[in-house]
Amino acid sequence: MRLLLVEDHADLLQSLTAELRQAGYAVDVATDGEQALFLGETEEYDVAVLDLGLPILGGLEVLTRWRAAGRDLLVLILTARDSWMEKVEGLKAGADDYLTKPFHTEELLARLQALLRRRHGQLQRELRVNDLVLDEEHQQVRFDQGGTVGLTGTEFRLLRYFMMNPGKPLSKTRLIEHVYDQDFDRDSNLIEVYVRRLREKIGRDRIETRRGQGYVFRG
């Protein structure tokens, strides 16, 4: 899942970026509203964590403009303590959830997972497709018939995206956009390499190749 983190507080930005990457998100960052507005309008994010108090352009304005431009990425806003007005305004402007500063990273991660699952129609506690269950905490995959397999960071991100979108044709471009951050070398051959590795781990037939369309995850 690709995530845009918008936060002007340098220390918080740095620690959150590391923790979100650790949790398997491809993270891009913006430190002011103008940069956030631009990235949100031009890149394909699944979700944004958006601080409301930002230089140049406030977070509320950024969110309002994203929605006006038809951008439907999930948005979790970070609001100041004791400012109930900010929460109300944020939700009215199209935020999907909010967190009040200061917060524990665990809560942020849990809320992001819940938002993403709901968006993808996954209402269970775990991400499951047929007999496969993705253990998001330990970044491994479990089979109902027994056994678990560990995944590398990229394998985990790719499999999670597949499992959030079962049965849909996913182009290599789309996979790259949602699995890698902006700084990554976006060579589409890399997707082929990682798909091959995933197939070795979970079984060849679970990921179907569609000529000219990309891949379909069968589970």
Least distance in angstroms from the C-beta of 101 to Ca ion? 8
Task: Tell the residue number behind the tokens 């990235």, with chain if given.
Answer: 39
Distance CA 92, CA 113 (A): 22
143-146 long-range contacts, CB within 8 A, separation 24+ = none
Minimum distance from residue 121 beta carbon to Ca ion (Å):
33
> Which of 8/34 has CB closer to Ca ion?
8
The one among 43, 53, 117, 143 contacting Ca ion by CB under 5 A: 53
**58 scored as a contact of Ca ion (CB under 5 A):** no
For the CB of residue 52, give the shortest distance to Ca ion in the complex, in Å.
Answer: 7
Name the residue number minimizing CB distance to Ca ion: 53
Q: Side chain identity at 108, as an amino acid letter?
A: L
Question: Per rule CB under 5 A, is residue 51 in the interface with Ca ion?
Answer: yes
Burial level of 212, CB count in 10 A (0-12/13-18/19+)?
Answer: exposed
Task: Provide, rounded to whole angstroms, the least separation between the CB of residue 64 and Ca ion.
Answer: 17
Which lies closer to Ca ion via its Cβ, residue 50 or residue 191? 50
What amino acid is encoded at 38 in this protein? F
Q: Please choose, out of 47-55, 94-102, 122-130, 138-146, the segment that lies near Ca ion by the rule CB under 5 A.
A: 47-55
Q: What are the DSSP E strand ranges found in 24-106?
A: 26-30, 47-51, 74-79, 97-100
Considering only 12-20, 45-53, 117-125, 156-164, which stretch makes contact with Ca ion by CB under 5 A?
A: 45-53
Nearby residues of 162 by Cβ (< 8 Å), 6 or more positions away: 170, 198, 207, 215, 217
136 contributes a contact to Ca ion by CB under 5 A? no
8 sits near Ca ion (criterion: CB under 5 A): yes
The footprint of Ca ion on this chain (CB under 5 A) covers a number of residues equal to 3
Q: List the strands of the sheet with 148-150, edge to edge.
A: 127-129, 132-135, 140-143, 148-150
When asked if residue 177 is in the footprint of Ca ion (CB under 5 A), the reply is no
Stretch that binds Ca ion, among 53-61, 80-88, 143-151, 171-179 (CB under 5 A): 53-61
Q: How far apart are alpha carbons 112 and 97 in whole angstroms?
A: 9
Residues that bind Ca ion (CB under 5 A): 8, 51, 53
